[in-house]
A and B are shown apart, each in its own frame.
Chain A
């Protein structure tokens, strides 16, 4: 039995899953909002990468310098003009808004790009990298590197910048944060902008790794939920571990049970986690 390949791809893939989870976890941690559009935001990165690749032949990784800021602005505006308003009525209306956005985006993707599977095809997306006697797709290695870059970046952003400080203040005591001159609406908008930036980053690399279609929005939403459920909310380490566990369970399931059961096994793992430790591995019981 050669388990090397499924284990290593599982871990590398899990890194990318962790990036998807980061954005969902951040938004929930800051504004207690379950962002049902998170998967659609991930795929937003994939499709925008595809559009830039088709239209200008722009390399998807290079195109990140356009995609990430676009995603940030989109996230900021959605929060500022839509979700913040709904938020004044409570978290449920805001939740419905995000559900609406996910449906609108998925249909938009379908209108523009057809319901068929697309991929971001580049020279490196099909290359392999030799590790000893084994070969791992290069893109999986890149996925893992991106995971570390994303986590370091988010850590730096939250702990070393004024934006991060304002976010942490708003989470801990919104009233005291206001008294510092921090606008809570602005903090929330920044948070969704950051979340969407990370989602689109993950989306580009997912697009390089797997084919995607409009329905992938919902697949990635479930993956993001899975990562957060397994790892626990509010802990970056937990999100990372959650991603790895989910990634591993999928690749190992594919290896032992066949590729058709890999998503199923992923759900089983989430289910078991919810049953025995609902707060997640690193989560704190409330």
Chain B
């Protein structure tokens, strides 16, 4: 892999009180890649995502985006730099319209300047959102809400898009649709780091993967090499 990574975590440890949720995690994401972070419930995946976004701050280690340390910055500054997260559980603004949700995604000055362009791109990706633009977001189906959450995150035109369990609670057909959209977003130039419990799905879409267990990275490598399920299973379940 040539050059500096777009995102680099160096020996990051994160505590909630005395509880160590993430221990000494290092990982890199290079421009143009899709990287997945795989692990069971409670392995610390969401905590890693939240730390990248500045929602929690690591006690040790550093997080570097485009060569700049971001682990002490506020979330709003990190978003302005071009990182965007589709949070676990979607967290759409349910009493706002679909259109207003998307506009909220284009809040930063950098995004506001090009919001019409981005809106067109999002509508192009998910035409259903254009159809329902005047509807309250809370009235959408689960899959549509997830599309809205992804569209909203895209509105800031991020260089790095973080996806936290986008398939959670959705049918296999909807999940496949979403993964197609992710591929398209990536092919249009957005680097992606995704968190999943769904091992097969995420290995299929990503070029590299990290396996997280109890807050530590126990395995990493090219996704095609990791497809040997036994190896993953042992990392996953500790058998």
CA distance in complex: A81, B55 (Å)? 22
Tell yes or no: A80 within 8 A of B by CB: no
Contact with B along A169-195 (1 / 0, CB 8 A): 100110111111111000000000000
Interface status of B233 (Cβ within 8 A of chain A): no
> Do A172 and B80 have beta carbons less than 8 Å apart?
no
Q: Is B191 an interface residue (CB 8 A)?
A: no
Our pick among B76, B94, B107, B152 for the contact of A172 (Cβ within 8 Å) is B94
Let me know if B95 and A172 touch, CB within 8 A: yes
- Could you say which residues of chain A place their CB within 8 Å of the CB of B156? 180-181
| CB neighbors of A among B128-177 (8 A) | 152-153, 156
- B residues near A181, Cβ cutoff 8 Å: 75-76, 79-80, 107-108, 111, 156
Q: Is the CB of B93 within 8 A of A173?
A: yes
Q: Which residues of A sit under 8 angstroms from B93, Cβ to Cβ?
A: 168-169, 172-173, 176
B112: A residues at CB distance < 8 A = 162
Question: B91 — which chain A residues lie within 8 A by C-beta?
Answer: 173, 175-176, 179
A166 is an interface residue with CB less than 8 A from chain B: yes
B92 near A162 (CB under 8 angstroms)?
A: no
Q: Does B100 lie at the interface of the complex (its beta carbon under 8 Å from any beta carbon of A)?
A: yes
List chain A residues, Cβ under 8 A from B87.
175-176, 179
How far is the CB of A188 from the nearest CB of chain B, in Å? Answer: 13
A161 to chain B, nearest CB (A): 11
A175 touching B55, Cβ below 8 Å: yes
Count chain B CB atoms within 10 A of each CB in A168, A169, A181 and give the residue with the most. Answer: A181
Q: Which residues of A contact B75 (CB under 8 A)?
A: 178-179, 181
Question: CA–CA, A277 to B100, complex, Å?
Answer: 34
Which of A162, A165, A173, A183 lies in contact with B74, CB distance below 8 A? A183
The 8 A CB mask of B77-111 against A (1 = contact, 0 = none) is: 00110001101000111111000100111011001
- Any A CB within 8 A of the CB of B122: no
A-B residue pairs in contact (CB < 8 Å), sample of 9: A162-B107, A166-B104, A168-B95, A176-B91, A180-B107, A180-B108, A181-B75, A181-B76, A181-B107
Pick the 10 closest A-B CB pairs, nearest first: A181-B79, A176-B91, A181-B108, A178-B75, A183-B76, A180-B107, A181-B76, A181-B107, A180-B104, A172-B93
